[in-house]
Amino acid sequence: MNATPPLKLILGSSSVYRRELLDRLRLNYSVESPQVDETPFAHERPADLAIRLALAKACAVATKFPAAVVIGSDQVADLDGEPLGKPGSHARAVVQLQRMRGRTVVFQTAVAVVCLGTGFSQHALAPVRVTFRDLTDEEIENYLLAEQPYDCAGSAKSEGLGISLLESIESDDPTALIGLPLIRTSAMLRSAGISLLHRRTAP
């Protein structure tokens, strides 16, 4: 009897950070850019925005590859209910960090796993509470010039020099702040039929 072929896995993201994180699971996967409009709706809460975009990214790629299991993810920095996205420039990053210094920001990181062929669809939110130090303007400028995190929500890379900007991080899924909550992602992949810890036999 022929064995059932393994499900194809696709990461629906153009983020190099999410690729680096997914690599930790040692899975075979491909990458597709989802091409989704990330403009927030009027009065949309940051958590709702992150979930909507994660699902939209997964579904956009799943529509092209209906037999595949697709991962979509999104992160929105939540400053007292206001969504803060990727700064995109030095000037906007300065403003973001000035607004966040001495305050606690919730990084709303959402992940969705979708397979249209099997009808599977799950999503989860992994909020991360991050408290910033009361940074000086000089510290902000020096940090941005050193790391240039203009493609990161919240204008800081916690996996790099950006950790020096922080007082504390509170999360139950350690990789969520970098952009992909691997504990939640692993659980959904198992539910979707992707084996993470299977025994590899010699050819």
Residue 23 appears among annotated catalytic residues: no
What integer pLDDT is reported at residue 198 of this predicted model?
Answer: 73
How far is 46 from 15, CA to CA, in rounded Å?
Answer: 20
Give the predicted TM-score (pTM) of the model. Answer: 0.91
Distance (Å) of CA 177 to CA 7, 38, 76, 160, 198: 28, 19, 10, 12, 28
What is the fold, at CATH topology level, of the domain defined by 9-192?
A: Maf protein (3.90.950)
Give the model confidence (pLDDT) of 102-124 as tens digits. 999 999 999 999 999 999 999 99
Angle, vertex CA 151, rays to CA 154 and CA 71, nearest 5: 95
- pLDDT, mean of residues 2-9: 70
Q: Determine which one of 74, 137, 172, 173 is catalytic.
A: 74
Distance (Å) of CA 159 to CA 82, 98, 169, 193: 24, 20, 12, 31
Distance (Å) of CA 4 to CA 25, 97, 174: 22, 51, 34
What integer pLDDT is reported at residue 126 of this predicted model?
Answer: 98
% of the chain surpassing 90 pLDDT? 88
- pLDDT, mean of residues 59-80: 97
Nearest partner of 185 among 76, 107, 109, 112, judged by Cα: 112
Q: How confident is residue 203, by pLDDT bands cut at 50, 70 and 90? A: very low
Task: Quote the distance between the C-alpha of residue 27 and its chain's center.
Answer: 18
Count of CB atoms within 10 A of residue 87's CB? 21
Q: What residues does 31 pair with on adjacent strands? A: 11
For 172, the token pair is 């139950």
For 181, the token pair is 């909550």
Q: How confident is residue 133, by pLDDT bands cut at 50, 70 and 90? A: very high
Q: How confident is residue 202, by pLDDT bands cut at 50, 70 and 90? A: very low
Give the model confidence (pLDDT) of 16-53 as tens digits. 999 999 999 999 999 999 999 999 999 999 999 999 99
Q: How confident is residue 4, by pLDDT bands cut at 50, 70 and 90? A: low
What integer pLDDT is reported at residue 1 of this predicted model?
Answer: 40
Give the model confidence (pLDDT) of 134-154 as tens digits. 999 999 999 999 999 999 988
